[in-house]
Amino acid sequence: MATGRGELCEDFMEGLEQRPTQLRPDRAQSGRGVGQRARTGSEAAPGNGSDAAPELTRMSELSLAASGIARHMAAGFPKLRANHCGENLMERLPSEILMKILSHLTCSSLVCMSYVNRRFNQLASDDVLWQQIYKSHLRRSCKWTPKQEKLAKAQPVEAELKVQRHTAGYWKRLYLKAVSRQEVDRWRKELKYVSQYTGLPSQTEWVLRKSGVSWELTVSDVSGEKVRTEQSRVFFFESSLLVCWSGEHWPRFRDFSSVQVHGERSTGRFGWRSLLMQTSGCPACCLGEDELVKLYFLRPAFIVAMWRGSGCVAFILLALHFHTLLGSPLCPHSAPAARPPVDLADPQYGLRGYSLHFVLHNTHTRHLWGHFTRLCCHTDWIKGGPLELRAISPTNLSEHRCVMGKICMPWSSEELLSCVENCCVMSLTLLDEFNKPFWCVSSPARVVPARWPVTQDYEGEHFLLDHCDRGGRVELKLLWLQEQLCSLVVGLSIFLPVWKVNEHFGTNY
């Protein structure tokens, strides 16, 4: 055993003592050649070393021949390069294959694909593709008779020529119009029932909830930066709604340059987005304040709450009348274009048969609700200035009404709850003698102490709610009864500008 180990060590030492010049570089890279070369050197060491030269020469010739064959084979095939430049492999496909792939997508997916790049915009807007989509849409929405199908098959040449005459994107636009018309007709059936109090569709709230309408607020500052915020809560009432937005990344109120409100509705295939209201960052008047926030009225119908001491915006409220939503993609509605002329047979009354729906509310409570009919305006009053429609007379005690609760505006932000007094929202719908909306407004309002007594029949503190805009003016007279701890409405008048009446009826007052 010891002798065998000694011979093995001697052979190993002899292999290490051989010179490196006896090995070729190409043979040194192969583990098998090195082992064979080492054995050949150990066997040739006792005798003549020239016996290994022919074998080395033959093996080197074989390796050179194999490398030449490999280079010849590599020259016949293109090299595969790695995609280091980030090229999209989908763009390298032929247009026919891409069109086959796009034909299996839905309409909304095709619209999204058209925004990828210029090539996908052209492919996703192909007329042949959208023509097939339009025909399949008509088959689903309409009842085709065999006669119509026979006529369609009998004129294939004229149909092809008609396609060639159309401009690019014709069938896409035609399909989108058909879908929008179908959605409009769907909701128009629900909005055909009109309320006798407001003169507006009675199912407006149900349609807005059912269709999934949401409101997005966009605030721009003086530097041009825009902040978009989704709605936090929505409060519905008979003829209006309140939308609330809460956020932390708004600019300071003094840096507001513009405020926009977009209505959004997502359908099964497409979504609608329309601009409902826009205002500039003009100076706002103060509505009220408490220990935490200050409320500002930003025309035409915004309430901006600002944290006291910091100048940061806490939340934003918007009052929307249902009449502002009608006729838009969010709530389609069409009023009759032609109206009967005003009846001037009785010269004693200039305006008669008007009705008023008046609501005074906040986010949770309805303070005052009233529907007043048979409002009129004498001809002599028209000559003296604005047209006055008196709903509650200060001298008629039977018309006076109590206000439910204390007029205030409750608010909440995260875990903070509070209430701002003498601040609320007024919603007004004035119908003409033909029961059609004449003036509709929903706006924040402020109750302030009156400069003179509003009535002599009661004792108490006198207050006044005065709202004025381009459409008219509202004057509400209130009296605070300390013993009963409630407010009493002793006067309500609507003042209309003469030009508005002349423009509405074509008169010349």
Residue 74 has pLDDT above 50, yes or no: no
The DSSP bridge partners found for residue 266 are 271
Q: Between vectors from CA 71 to CA 65 and to CA 72, what angle results, nearest 5°? A: 90
Tokens of 15: 């292999």
The pLDDT score that the predictor gives to residue 142 is 53
Residue 69 has pLDDT above 80, yes or no: no
If you average pLDDT over residues 418-431, what whole number do you get? 93
The pLDDT score that the predictor gives to residue 114 is 83
pLDDT band at 442; cut points 50, 70, 90: very high
pLDDT band at 345; cut points 50, 70, 90: very low
Quickly count: other Cβ atoms within 10 Å of residue 332's Cβ. Answer: 19
If you average pLDDT over residues 228-247, what whole number do you get? 92
Where are the chain's structural domains? 94-189, 204-325, 349-505
User: What CA–CA distance (Å, rounded) separates 228 from 232?
Assistant: 13
The mean of the pLDDT values for the chain is 76
Of 70-84, 202-216, 411-425, 492-506, the one with minimum mean pLDDT is 70-84
Residue 257 has pLDDT above 50, yes or no: yes
Cβ contact 234:244 at 8 Å? yes
CA dihedral 206, 211, 212, 213 (to 10 degrees): -90
Residue 265 has pLDDT above 60, yes or no: yes
Contacts 24+ apart (CB under 8 A), 341-347: 341/505, 341/506, 342/433, 342/505, 342/506, 342/507, 343/433, 344/507, 347/379
The pLDDT score that the predictor gives to residue 449 is 92
The pLDDT score that the predictor gives to residue 437 is 87
If you average pLDDT over residues 87-95, what whole number do you get? 74
User: Given this structure, which CATH class describes domain 94-189?
Assistant: mainly alpha
If you average pLDDT over residues 299-326, what whole number do you get? 89
Tokens 């065999």 locate to: 146
| Phi, psi (degrees; rounded to nearest 5) at 365 | -115, 145
Tokens of 178: 């058909």
Of 69-83, 121-135, 136-150, 338-352, the one with minimum mean pLDDT is 69-83
The pLDDT score that the predictor gives to residue 338 is 46
Residue 295 has pLDDT above 90, yes or no: yes
* Cα separations in angstroms, 3 against 8, 9, 10, 127, 312: 9, 10, 11, 93, 97
Residue 4 has pLDDT above 60, yes or no: no
Of 248-257, 332-341, 452-461, the one with minimum mean pLDDT is 332-341
Q: Coil, strand, or helix at residue 373? A: strand
The pLDDT score that the predictor gives to residue 163 is 45
The pLDDT score that the predictor gives to residue 31 is 42
Residue 2 has pLDDT above 90, yes or no: no
Residue-by-residue DSSP string for 319-363: EEEHHHHBTBTTB-----S--PPP--S-TTEEEEEEEEEEEEE-S
441 compared with 56, residue with greater pLDDT: 441
User: What CA–CA distance (Å, rounded) separates 239 from 244?
Assistant: 17
The pLDDT score that the predictor gives to residue 157 is 38
Sheet strand arrangement including 302-307? 233-236, 240-246, 313-321, 302-307, 293-298, 285-289
Q: Coil, strand, or helix at residue 59? A: helix
pLDDT band at 241; cut points 50, 70, 90: very high
If you average pLDDT over residues 261-277, what whole number do you get? 77
The pLDDT score that the predictor gives to residue 355 is 93
The pLDDT score that the predictor gives to residue 144 is 44
> Nearest CA to 281 among 221, 227, 218, 230?
221
- DSSP-derived pairing of the beta strands 256-266 and 271-280: antiparallel
Quickly count: other Cβ atoms within 10 Å of residue 423's Cβ. Answer: 23
* Cα separations in angstroms, 282 against 205, 227, 257, 293, 302: 32, 18, 8, 20, 12
Chain segment 356-409, per-residue pLDDT in tens? 999 999 998 899 999 999 998 877 767 667 888 999 998 888 899 999 888 999
The pLDDT score that the predictor gives to residue 423 is 93
The two counts, helices (H) then strands (E), for the chain are: 15, 21
Q: Coil, strand, or helix at residue 245? A: strand
The model's pTM:
0.68
DSSP run (H or E) holding 501: helix 498-505
